[in-house]
Structure 1
Amino acid sequence: MGDIRSTVRSRPGDARHRSSSTFTELAQQIRDRGLLRRRYGYYWSKLVAAPLILAACLIAFVWIGDTWWQLFTAAVLAILFTQIAFLGHDAAHRQIFVSGRWNDWISIILGDLLVGMSYGWWQHKHTRHHANPNKLAADPDIELPVIAVTAETAMKHRGPVLAWLRGHQGLLFFPILFLEGISLHASSVRRVLARGRLERRWVEIVFLSVRMIGYLVLVFLVLSPGIAFVFLAVQLGLFGFYMGVAFAPNHKGMPVVPRDMTVDFLRRQVLMSRDIRGGRAIDVAMGGLNYQIEHHLFPSMPRPHLRRAAPIIAAYCREQDVRYTQTGLFASYAIVVRYINRVGLGERDVFSCPLVEQRSAIG
């Protein structure tokens, strides 16, 4: 089976100029159909609704009072915080406004103040991911602290405990996601307090402090300690799990690019990404991340246009003989779990396995 090198090299034409013009042709088609135009009505309705719904949830939380029924409130808040994070993701990618400053401030308000995630931390990490998805030593999303998604990572620091965890990481993958909420908050705090350049550092520190401290104070004022701790565990656990299952199907199990390899923009973004099939419900549940190929090719494309862009981009990729991967949601999870399980068990040829599974998954 071919690895990512043969996958790329088997495509017709190897001139850099041709690769550049290939994407330019696609971009022109997308612009001609108006799919890069702003959707102010769509986004303003969400920007107004998000804080209002959050305020209503918090009022309901206080009104319900000290009862175990609040665990349902915790679940609702977990879903709401994730949906607000998706909206902040759109703003950070300049999908909402023309003004970069407006997008930045919306991202900070939504991320730091409402969700408790640092915009500066996310921007630094996510920008590097978009530039080189699934590339060794370049994409931070494949350098995870516990789960190994590359053979190189799996062979590092294999103490007995970590070796056991990685040997069973396919089975443990989804349970570990319940800790992702705590990890996201902790990473945000570390980023704003660490040395190094960070625009609007003090704004982020103030917003994160108000969000995290204020939220904890409210929870422990309304709930007794026992219920409060369980409430926070449910809310943080479901928030992390929801975030994880929304982002996990996008790239994991797709080809990994060697650090010394250069791939043109179109193939770099398409071959390393995976779309998830589904209707409007999937679009809403995943915040548009199910159109990962379209999002990586056109990061500033407004979310409601991704569905319309998908068939255009899929057809264009077929014309250019570029593999366009699309699968069902649960099939994608199966691919991810089988892939990381093989990596954890010491599978060294991590480049060929994902391609074999994609062929079987998409028929």
Structure 2
Amino acid sequence: MTTVTARAPRSDHPGSDFARLSKKITEAGLLGRRPGYYTLRISAVAGLYITGWAAFVLVGPSWWTLAVAAFMAVLYGQVALVAHDMAHRQVFRRRRASEVSGRIAASWIGMGYGWWQDKHTRHHANPNTEDLDPDIDPDLLVWTQEQARAATGLPRLLGRRQAFLFFPLLTLEGFNLHVSSGRAIANRSLKHRALDGTLLFAHCAVYLTALFWVLPLGMAFAFLAVHQCLFGVYLGSVFAPNHKGMPILSADNRPDFLRRQVLTSRNVDGGRFTDFALGGLNHQIEHHLFPSMPSPNLRKARTIVRQYCRDLGVEYAETGLITSYRLVLGSLHRAGAPLREARVRG
């Protein structure tokens, strides 16, 4: 994929296009809190999380414990999605309550809240924008052919076959989450890094102690591998369809806020199960336009936003889940083309 400048026709009416859309969304009441929904959702996730670890103890040193590991991988993903909503102030209106609850939820899965929030905030401000969006930094994979031509080390080695390696590499994403959280603690500019470090260390200590106390050595390592690898695949499968394969913008020539968010995001079509599995992030366009909107309201907002974009002539990307993965893999394959060509010439 090459860097593009994505622009679309603008309205001649006074006021920004986003301001008029925001007025429509506000009048529809879609920015209001949903305390009942989040009380039920958080209670269910917390209850299943506790039940899962109770089952881990009760099953004990049996290979059936790997089924518990798979179950807990899904629960860790659901906790991550709840932490995401809390960080965006979808659950609580006040910043303090959102930060405290989000940090607690992040500690349940061994994620550094401050590190993730900083990274995710920069992504939301400049999605798919070179040099500004940390999610498209070429740290392991390359996302554009320009990055491929400049790649060295692992990105250069993996880039030739990165489309085939993408899902296998997601098995490392859970481990990467913990390692990156730990490395961020050394950054003196990180707010509350002592607290984040304490919570991260406490989670890892309790988690590893439980594994090696309850299970024999080999079984404990097997549980660790299944749990963390499936957790990584789940997380990657939730986030990959949202922006990968969409236009990548130039940092010095970007469209306005509405177009920047809509043109770089992709919605995943599906029913209520898709909403549950992806935590509402399948409505990625609406989420990026209104990040504090409670996730159960995103489906209703979708109808308004989609029609509004059509009226403006702004492309609104929407596809099925399997097709979204195909598009992601296709974009990765195209991005790695210069590395394959260089190998042939060499």
TM-score by length of 2: 0.94
1:117 to 95, 100, 111: 111
Pairwise CA distance, 1:3? 7.5
Q: Which amino acid aligns with 1:127?
A: T
Q: What residue is the counterpart of 2:344 in the other structure?
A: none
Pairwise CA distance, 1:178? 0.4
Q: What residue is the counterpart of 2:156 in the other structure?
A: 163
Question: How far, CA to CA, are the matches of 1:312 and 1:157 in structure 2?
Answer: 42
Q: What residue is the counterpart of 1:48 in the other structure?
A: 43
Question: How far, CA to CA, are the matches of 1:58 and 1:115 in structure 2?
Answer: 13
Pairwise CA distance, 1:328? 0.5
After superposition, where does 1:75-224 map in structure 2 within 5 Å?
A: 75-112=70-107, 114-158=108-152, 162-192=155-185, 194-224=186-216
Pairwise CA distance, 1:155? 1.8
Q: Which amino acid aligns with 1:185?
A: H
The gaps in structure 1 that reach 5 residues or longer are 348-363
Q: Contact (CA 8 Å) 2:268, 2:318: kept in 1 or not?
A: yes
Q: What residue is the counterpart of 1:247 in the other structure?
A: 239
144 and 214 in structure 1: CA distance in 2 versus 1, 3 angstrom threshold: farther
TM-score by length of 1: 0.90
Question: How far, CA to CA, are the matches of 1:12 and 1:292 in structure 2?
Answer: 22
Q: Which amino acid aligns with 1:138?
A: L
Q: Contact (CA 8 Å) 2:175, 2:228: kept in 1 or not?
A: yes
Q: Which amino acid aligns with 1:250?
A: N
Pairwise CA distance, 1:191? 1.1
Question: How far, CA to CA, are the matches of 2:253 and 2:151 in structure 1?
Answer: 26
Q: Contact (CA 8 Å) 2:268, 2:324: kept in 1 or not?
A: yes
2:58 to 55, 59, 63: 63
Q: Contact (CA 8 Å) 2:131, 2:251: kept in 1 or not?
A: yes
How many corresponding residue pairs? 339
225 and 269 in structure 1: CA distance in 2 versus 1, 3 angstrom threshold: same
Q: Which amino acid aligns with 1:306?
A: L
Q: Tell me the percent identity.
A: 46
Q: Contact (CA 8 Å) 2:141, 2:155: kept in 1 or not?
A: no
Q: Contact (CA 8 Å) 2:145, 2:334: kept in 1 or not?
A: no
Q: Equivalent residue of 1:50, what SS?
A: helix
Q: Equivalent residue of 1:199, what SS?
A: coil
The gaps in structure 2 that reach 5 residues or longer are 340-346
Question: How far, CA to CA, are the matches of 1:96 and 1:243 in structure 2?
Answer: 21
Pairwise CA distance, 1:196? 2.2
Q: What residue is the counterpart of 2:21 in the other structure?
A: 26
Q: Which amino acid aligns with 1:136?
A: E
Q: Which amino acid aligns with 1:150?
A: T
Is 1:333 equivalent to 2:331 in the alignment?
A: no
Q: Equivalent residue of 1:115, what SS?
A: coil
Question: How far, CA to CA, are the matches of 2:202 and 2:324 in structure 1?
Answer: 38
Q: Which amino acid aligns with 2:60?
A: G
1:262 to 231, 254, 264: 254
1:136-173 alpha-carbon deviations (Å, 9 max, x no partner): 100000014211112232122445x6534211111111
